[in-house]
Structure 1
Amino acid sequence: MDDALIWLGAAAASTFVAALALTWLVRALAYRFGLVAPTRDDRWHKRPTALLGGIGIFVAFMVGCLLFLPDVPRVGAVLLGGTLLFGAGLWDDLRPMRPYVKLIIQVCAAALIVYLGLSLPWTDQDVLNNAITIFWLVGITNALNLLDNMDGLAGGIAIIASVAMAITFIVSGQINEAVIPVMLAGAVLGFLIFNRHPATIFMGDAGSMFLGVTLGSAALLSDYGRSRSLAAVLFTPVLILLIPIVDTALVAISRKSTGRSISQGGLDHASHRLVAMGLTEGRAVVTLYLLAAVSGVMALAVGALDQGLIWLIVPTFILGIVGFAFFLGQVVVHDEVQASVVDSRMMRVLSDLRGKRRIFEVLLDIALITLAYYGAYVLRYDGGIPQGQAELLGRTLPIVLIVEVVLLTLGGVYRTVWRYVGIGELVILGRSVAAGGLASAVVVILANPDIVVSRSVFVLQALLLVLLIGGSRLSYRVLRVMFERQRGPTADSTPVLIYGAGDGGELVVREILNNPGHRYSPIGFVDDDGRKTGKAIHGFRIFDSQEIPELMRRHGVTEILISTGQVSEGKLEALRSLGIRPRRVSIEFE
């Protein structure tokens, strides 16, 4: 194994060095001959940037194949498909093709790969498997292509996916196959040196289409977990490439809802929405890197976990990523503000659906009820659900879904504004879930008098459901607060202190955070109660009133918001004498 790892390391190093040198050369030639991407309103880069970086990636990878690639069955399909789409992408970079022409070429390349023997073994029907595989390859190719929307993003995600894929090969004993993603990672890393922010060269369609089809087809070589479970066969390739898939879905829905073509460029990707939420470009890219890395770890876990746990954990994780994408989908970006409104009825319906969070909540809860019910059986029977109980689970799931969705509705869960979730809302949720669990148990037991129904399943299901639904709702508030903090003050925001670290002060700081239009940047609280000094409210520290002069000097504070009516006029005069302007904040009823 040590010799194999050294060999793999040498392969990665060779493609890295080759890509480093080739990308440097291609960049120089691109600038010399004017082969650059000009700035445009629908593109992220702010200055003309060299194109054709994909040449460095492709040639370096092929050099590595000549030097290190052993005789691997069906590897020719991977190389041929990658070469075909590299050529098509290079032509498109030099002389742009119509989107439908690129799609036809992608379908032909995918069909050729399938013809040469690679397919996803998801069903026992070869024809269906082949159709799914063609859709998979075309989808992943376009996903990587669309993901190439911010400096270093597509390259970094490709490296993470390649490393995860290489580990699955190594764990499965497929050392020869592992050299493919290893060399790919090395080649992309060499290119990424020049593509990180601020990028001086782009990979172009030649690089993104090559990477997409190569990653998608290389995943078909893996035997990881196939001997253990169907879940590993289904989930491993999807998890490795989950972030490009979800980003593509987000963009497709976003553009359809505003009447734009999916192939049209734009600033509506997950990365752009993260920046709109307040992250810097670098942090937005790193955030997506981290999500891709976690997804890769999940892919590795699939081969080691019991099948029962896989079907519980992986769908929950995927739902979490989809929920995060839905959260980002509500962020209004420049493209959507500028998009023309299409008058067709379908476009109006799609646009209207974007605002109907309740529809998403109900669909999400249906999935969570299913997961909780299944998870309760997994926990009750330690992962090995007996055949009879598995049949009972499948037969009674529709009953449980109907009963619990109805009781969640009657209990007021879907009338709650979860943006302002508090203890009262959680009580409503707990009460509704408990009622649903009790009613489900009664109905299932009465409907199956001849079968032993475990009562503890419904207790476990209720506990899991509270955690899942409560977590899903709370996560939106947590994410919103996190990104509001990341956004930070605007250039014209006024640094301000809040006098009074009580209920009124908490209300004031929450109002400032929720409404940037106030143009205030809270520095912290000031309170005369020494017992509160050093503590924090919503992350803002509570200072002693004696520290006001130092805070004014350090942060340039010129205003202090008075949140309590217990501050005397004498105290206000003392504040004015310090050179700070006190402003009373109050709620009035007329």
Structure 2
Amino acid sequence: MGWHDVALYGGMALGMAFGMTVAAVPMVRRWAFRLKMVAAPREDRWHAHPTPLLGGLAIGMALWGAFLTLWALGGLEDQWRKIGGLTILSSVLGLVGLVDDRKHLAPQTKLLVQIVLASFVVFLGFEVQWFVSKTANRFWSILWVVAITNAFNLLDNMDGLSAGVAAIACAFLILVEAVCGHPFQPIHLAVMALLGALAGFLVYNFHPASIFMGDCGSLPIGFFLAAASTQTNMAQNGPLVPILAVPVFIFCLPLFDMAFVSVMRPLFGRSISTGGRDHTSHRLVAIGLSERNTVLFLYGFSTLGGILALFMALQPVGTLPGIVVFLLLTLFLAVHLARVRTYGPGQKSIVERNGTLTVLWIQWTYKKRMFEVLLDVFMVAFAYWLSYFLRYEKPMYESVFPHFLKSLPLTVACCLGANLVVGIYRGVWRLTSTSDLVYHLGAASLGVALTVLSLVFLYDFQGFSRSIFGIFWALWLVALSGSRVSFCFMSELLKKVSRRNGRRVAIYGADERGSMILYRVLNGSEHVLCPVGFIDNDEKKQNARIYGYKVIGPWHRLEELIRTHRLDEILVPVEEAARLPFPAPEALDRQVVFRQVDLRIG
């Protein structure tokens, strides 16, 4: 059977699973109410209304229906026993999840069951072939299945999130194989059936959800996907880096969320298995995104990971720049999310509770800027390697690569030394401005110059190309400035998002005083004010933008501006208040507060 047959069998499996799930969910929902399998609102859970569980049963029923149909039609060929075994083991794990939904099993019990079932699934032949050692392959396969199973279980914390991300993963598991021209395998039909079941479930599970999948859904879904990912041609053959990176990027969001929670919870003295509103999704809502937009944002994150996995499978080396950018953005996102307080004002981290650790933390993260330096080491090395990769074709690249390795430590030392001399590590990333770009230019230029002079002194510049260092200078400057500016940009973006639901305010005066008021609003501790723009009587400033905020109109159109932009407050410098005609409250369509702001010192 080839990929042309997938359109028939795969489309049938997907459509059948979708239809069966859509039809089964209302029935399962009634069962949940009768059996009192309902998730009640709790302080450590996200939903606000009692919501039935057992959605995983509908997904499982659809998957079994598609499997039996494909088996009867011969679509699974000689792999039906293997795929049937995986379906049975997934169903057993679903039953364990059902018991957990009912009686709340101990975490160690669930983990033990997962390890046992993962061992059985590896025995069936669902294992990677990454290492020479068969023992290592089997051990890693068990670890991989257990990890992905728990990652999807932890991700099931907001309407439509786990099901949607699982559907995206299904799509990219199939897409990578098809685009790369790998031979068709019957497991692909099973993945397409799961995709259809998940799509049908999202009809009821997307915000606002009328049913949850519960552990009887999230556990077997992660289990099934993890096992299926070991059967792709990419997981069985090819260079080590792509076969490791492709599945990791396809499952990037579940793995990121699991790793993030596993670090943050112990840091605040909480068990990893303890539920709470501290996941990636919850923190995004805490900074101002709506629940629906949060889920859509995370869908986009997962899709971007899948696209990178696709390009990594097609062109591993050419995808490296995109992967580096993606990893840097993920790092910045993690840093920002970690700053969101989700455990209550009275709960402190281990570092904050322990005086000695606090001193060490300040010493290494603030005074010595350890993380910033490590990031620069990585960026210098990558920019220097990319210079060689862009400059030379493959045969020549291999001949000059020893020169790259020989000069890399010297290049890193010179660039970091230049950063130290120029004062790069004295700046604060989130306060980076255009004036800092001059220092970045100086640091990059000095670093490259020191590198060239050192190579001239040590090796008489034999075997090195001047054009390499021209390319490296440009790449290092972009990386140095881009990392700082992107962090600043993300800080500003999150500030805007966090205030989106606050009181809408306009500021009078598109000048220095108005800018000072805007700065106070944006850097206030309470996210209660959402700047809309400036009001100014200067006709030349109309529709201009000041720090990204538009001049929305003059003061004499105030009543119209209040109505059009739904303003709740107007902030006026105290020096201007006496010269402005304030309208009577009864003349306005809505209640508006006029507040005078004193900018004088002393």
Fold conserved between structures, TM > 0.5: yes
Q: How far off is 1:158 after superposition? A: 0.3
Mark the CA change 1:424 to 1:283 in structure 2 (over 3 Å): closer, same or farther. same
Counterpart amino acid of residue 416 in structure 1: G
Mark the CA change 1:241 to 1:347 in structure 2 (over 3 Å): closer, same or farther. farther
Match of 2:448 among 417, 437, 442: 437
Mark the CA change 1:266 to 1:469 in structure 2 (over 3 Å): closer, same or farther. farther
Name the % identity.
Answer: 31
Kindly indicate whether the alpha-carbon contact (under 8 Å) linking 1:231 and 1:310 is maintained by their aligned counterparts in 2: no
Mark the CA change 1:466 to 1:170 in structure 2 (over 3 Å): closer, same or farther. same
Q: How far off is 1:149 after superposition? A: 0.5
Match of 1:143 among 147, 151, 155: 151
1:190-215: CA deviation from partner (whole Å, max 9, x where unpaired): 22222122222211222111111111
Counterpart amino acid of residue 198 in structure 2: V
Match of 1:530 among 520, 531, 539: 539
Match of 2:258 among 248, 267, 291: 248
Q: How far off is 1:449 after superposition? A: 5.0
Mark the CA change 1:524 to 1:221 in structure 2 (over 3 Å): closer, same or farther. same
- Structure 1 distance, partners of 2:456, 2:142, is 46
1:131-154: CA deviation from partner (whole Å, max 9, x where unpaired): 322222211111101000001100
- Structure 1 distance, partners of 2:327, 2:300, is 15
Kindly indicate whether the alpha-carbon contact (under 8 Å) linking 2:267 and 2:350 is maintained by their aligned counterparts in 1: no
| Alignment partner, residue 383 of structure 2 | 372
- Structure 2 distance, partners of 1:81, 1:384, is 50
- Structure 2 distance, partners of 1:397, 1:336, is 46
Mark the CA change 1:10 to 1:379 in structure 2 (over 3 Å): closer, same or farther. same
Q: 1:588 aligned to 2:600?
A: yes
Q: 1:117 aligned to 2:125?
A: yes
| Alignment partner, residue 71 of structure 1 | 77
Counterpart amino acid of residue 386 in structure 1: Y
SS at match of 1:439: helix
Q: How far off is 1:287 after superposition? A: 0.3
510-519 or 575-584, which deviates more: 575-584
Kindly indicate whether the alpha-carbon contact (under 8 Å) linking 2:377 and 2:416 is maintained by their aligned counterparts in 1: yes
Q: Where do 1:184-195 residues align within 5 Å?
A: 184-195=194-205
Kindly indicate whether the alpha-carbon contact (under 8 Å) linking 1:501 and 1:542 is maintained by their aligned counterparts in 2: no
| Alignment partner, residue 424 of structure 2 | 413
Mark the CA change 1:505 to 1:284 in structure 2 (over 3 Å): closer, same or farther. same
Mark the CA change 1:215 to 1:383 in structure 2 (over 3 Å): closer, same or farther. farther
| Alignment partner, residue 96 of structure 1 | 104
Q: Where do 1:264-283 residues align within 5 Å?
A: 264-283=274-293
Mark the CA change 1:416 to 1:450 in structure 2 (over 3 Å): closer, same or farther. closer
529-538 or 392-401, which deviates more: 392-401
Q: Where do 1:222-241 residues align within 5 Å?
A: 222-224=232-234, 229-241=239-251
Kindly indicate whether the alpha-carbon contact (under 8 Å) linking 1:255 and 1:261 is maintained by their aligned counterparts in 2: yes
| Alignment partner, residue 318 of structure 1 | 327
1:489-509: CA deviation from partner (whole Å, max 9, x where unpaired): 656x3x543222123322321
Mark the CA change 1:455 to 1:104 in structure 2 (over 3 Å): closer, same or farther. farther
Q: What RMSD, in angstroms, separates the aligned Cα atoms of the two structures?
A: 3.1
Mark the CA change 1:100 to 1:399 in structure 2 (over 3 Å): closer, same or farther. farther
Give the TM-score normalised by structure 2.
0.88
Match of 1:164 among 166, 172, 176: 172
- Structure 1 distance, partners of 2:393, 2:336, is 34
Give the TM-score normalised by structure 1.
0.89
- Structure 1 distance, partners of 2:527, 2:244, is 50
Kindly indicate whether the alpha-carbon contact (under 8 Å) linking 1:279 and 1:483 is maintained by their aligned counterparts in 2: no
| Alignment partner, residue 485 of structure 1 | 496
- Structure 2 distance, partners of 1:129, 1:191, is 34
Mark the CA change 1:211 to 1:557 in structure 2 (over 3 Å): closer, same or farther. closer
Q: Where do 1:339-488 residues align within 5 Å?
A: 339=347, 349=357, 356=365, 358-382=369-393, 386-444=397-455, 446-448=457-459, 451-488=462-499
Q: How far off is 1:328 after superposition? A: 1.4
Mark the CA change 1:227 to 1:484 in structure 2 (over 3 Å): closer, same or farther. same
434-443 or 157-166, which deviates more: 434-443
Counterpart amino acid of residue 539 in structure 2: G
1:377-415: CA deviation from partner (whole Å, max 9, x where unpaired): 211125666223223333433333333233323332222
Q: Where do 1:44-83 residues align within 5 Å?
A: 44-68=46-70, 69-71=75-77, 73=79, 75=83, 78-83=86-91
1:90-130: CA deviation from partner (whole Å, max 9, x where unpaired): 23223322111211222222233333333333333333333
Aligned residue pairs total 583
Q: 1:502 aligned to 2:508?
A: no
Q: 1:126 aligned to 2:134?
A: yes
Counterpart amino acid of residue 12 in structure 1: L
Q: Where do 1:4-19 residues align within 5 Å?
A: 4-19=6-21
Q: 1:303 aligned to 2:313?
A: yes
- Structure 1 distance, partners of 2:125, 2:194, is 22
SS at match of 1:522: strand
Counterpart amino acid of residue 200 in structure 2: G
Q: 1:21 aligned to 2:33?
A: no
Q: Where do 1:35-50 residues align within 5 Å?
A: 35-50=37-52
Kindly indicate whether the alpha-carbon contact (under 8 Å) linking 1:369 and 1:401 is maintained by their aligned counterparts in 2: yes
- Structure 1 distance, partners of 2:83, 2:396, is 39
- Structure 2 distance, partners of 1:225, 1:217, is 11
- Structure 1 distance, partners of 2:88, 2:124, is 10
Counterpart amino acid of residue 370 in structure 2: I
- Structure 2 distance, partners of 1:478, 1:265, is 32
Mark the CA change 1:236 to 1:139 in structure 2 (over 3 Å): closer, same or farther. same
SS at match of 1:118: coil
Q: How far off is 1:439 after superposition? A: 2.0
Kindly indicate whether the alpha-carbon contact (under 8 Å) linking 1:403 and 1:436 is maintained by their aligned counterparts in 2: yes
| Alignment partner, residue 291 of structure 1 | 301
SS at match of 1:259: coil
Q: How far off is 1:320 after superposition? A: 2.2
Kindly indicate whether the alpha-carbon contact (under 8 Å) linking 1:148 and 1:154 is maintained by their aligned counterparts in 2: yes
Kindly indicate whether the alpha-carbon contact (under 8 Å) linking 1:144 and 1:212 is maintained by their aligned counterparts in 2: yes
343-352 or 150-159, which deviates more: 343-352
SS at match of 1:252: helix
Mark the CA change 1:470 to 1:201 in structure 2 (over 3 Å): closer, same or farther. same
